[in-house]
Amino acid sequence: MQVKILGSAAGGAFPQWNCACPNCRTLRAGKFPGKARSQTQVAVSADSHTWFLLGASPDLRVQIESNPELHPREGLRQSPIAGSVLLNADIDHVLGLLLLRELQPLRVYATEAIRRILSEDNSMFAMLQRVPGQLTWSDFEPRKTFPLLDPAGEDSGLRCRALSLGTHFPAYVSPLRRSELRPDDASLGLIVEAPSRKRLAYMPAVPQISGDLLREAESADVLLFDGTFWSGDELIRVQGSGQTVEQMGHVPVSSSLERLAQLKRPRRIYIHINNTNPMLNDAGPEYRQVRDAGWEIAEDGWQFEL
C-alpha cells in the first residue's frame, strides 16, 4: 500500500488567511524555520493506480495538481481517485468533496450519521448526485471491517475498520438532527490494512486516549496521530479568549507524548497541525522534544509504503 500525505495542517492551513500569530506572521515574512502546510489530506492505494482519499480537504484541488499520481491518465474525463472514507463531518474534513462535483463516479464511505448530515441537511451535496452512478454512498459501522471498492464495485484489496473516538458533531449540525444520530458515529479513527497485512492507523482528531485506542495504535505499523495543538490553552493565549483544546476535542501534543510513550511498534507521526502549534518551528524546543521522543511531524508531500 502506498500512503501519501498531501496535506498536514489543521483547518485553516498554515499560514491561515486571517491569522497573524507569531508562526503565521514570521512564515509570511519568509523568516520562519519551518514549512508551510495545506489542510490535512491522506491518500492510500494498493496498486499505485486507484487511490482512495481519507477525508476530503478544502485544499484538494491544489493537492491533486501537485501530485502526478492523482492526475487523469486515460480519455478526456477520468481520475485515479475512486472515492473517500469520511471520519467526521467537520468542514476541513469534507469540504473537498464539493470540489469533486464534475460528474466523476466516486464511492464515499461514511457512518450513517455523517452521510445524513451531509446529504440530507446540506443541499449543496446534491451536486454530487446529479446523474446515476455519480456518487455512491456506502455506510460503515464502527468496529466492522469493510473493503474499499471502486465505484464499479471492484475490490482494491484494502480493508478498513473504524473506531469511535468522539461523540461531538460539528457546531453546524442542528440540535434536532443531533438527537436523531448515534453519537458513536460522530468522530472516528481508521485502521487501513494493506494486502501485505501491514496497517496504517489514522487518527487526526482524538479527544481522549483510551485503552482501546492504545491497543489499536500498537497494532499498527504507522500511526498518524492528532498533532493539532501543543498545549491546552494554546488558542486562549493567542486569541485572548475561547475554548481549551480539550473542549474542542483534541488531546494536546504535550499530553499525548506522555500517554503514547509506551508504544513500541508503530512509526509515529503527528498530523493535522494547527498554525499556532509551536512544534512547527524546526528550531524550537517543542520540535526538539517531539523528535527526541521518537515522533515525526508530517509535512506535505511525504510518501511511504506499507
Residue numbers at the binding site for Zn ion (CB under 5 A): 19, 21, 24, 275
Least separation in angstroms between CB 21 and Zn ion: 3
Cell of residue 16, nine digits: 491561515
Cell of residue 105, nine digits: 463516479
Residue with smaller CB distance to Zn ion, 34 or 80: 34
Residue with smaller CB distance to Zn ion, 21 or 181: 21
- Classify each residue of 147-158 as buried b or exposed e, where b means 16 or more C-beta atoms within 10 Å of its C-beta: ebbbbeeeebbb
248, with CB counted inside 10 A (0-12, 13-18, 19+), is: middle
167, with CB counted inside 10 A (0-12, 13-18, 19+), is: middle
What are the CA-CA distances from residue 303 to residues 63, 69, 207, 211 (Å)?
13, 12, 27, 29
What are the CA-CA distances from residue 232 to residues 161, 219, 264 (Å)?
30, 28, 26
Least separation in angstroms between CB 211 and Zn ion: 35
Least separation in angstroms between CB 301 and Zn ion: 21
Residue with smaller CB distance to Zn ion, 253 or 306: 253
Least separation in angstroms between CB 24 and Zn ion: 3
Least separation in angstroms between CB 15 and Zn ion: 6
Least separation in angstroms between CB 39 and Zn ion: 14
Least separation in angstroms between CB 7 and Zn ion: 16
Residue with smaller CB distance to Zn ion, 57 or 277: 277
* Dihedral (CA of 198, 153, 73, 272) sign: negative
Whether the CB-CB separation of 199 and 221 falls below 8 Å is answered with yes
Least separation in angstroms between CB 23 and Zn ion: 5
Residue with smaller CB distance to Zn ion, 16 or 57: 16
Alpha carbon distance 18, 24 (integer Å): 9
Residue with smaller CB distance to Zn ion, 21 or 257: 21
Whether the CB-CB separation of 99 and 61 falls below 8 Å is answered with yes
Residue with smaller CB distance to Zn ion, 84 or 277: 277
Residue with smaller CB distance to Zn ion, 32 or 51: 32
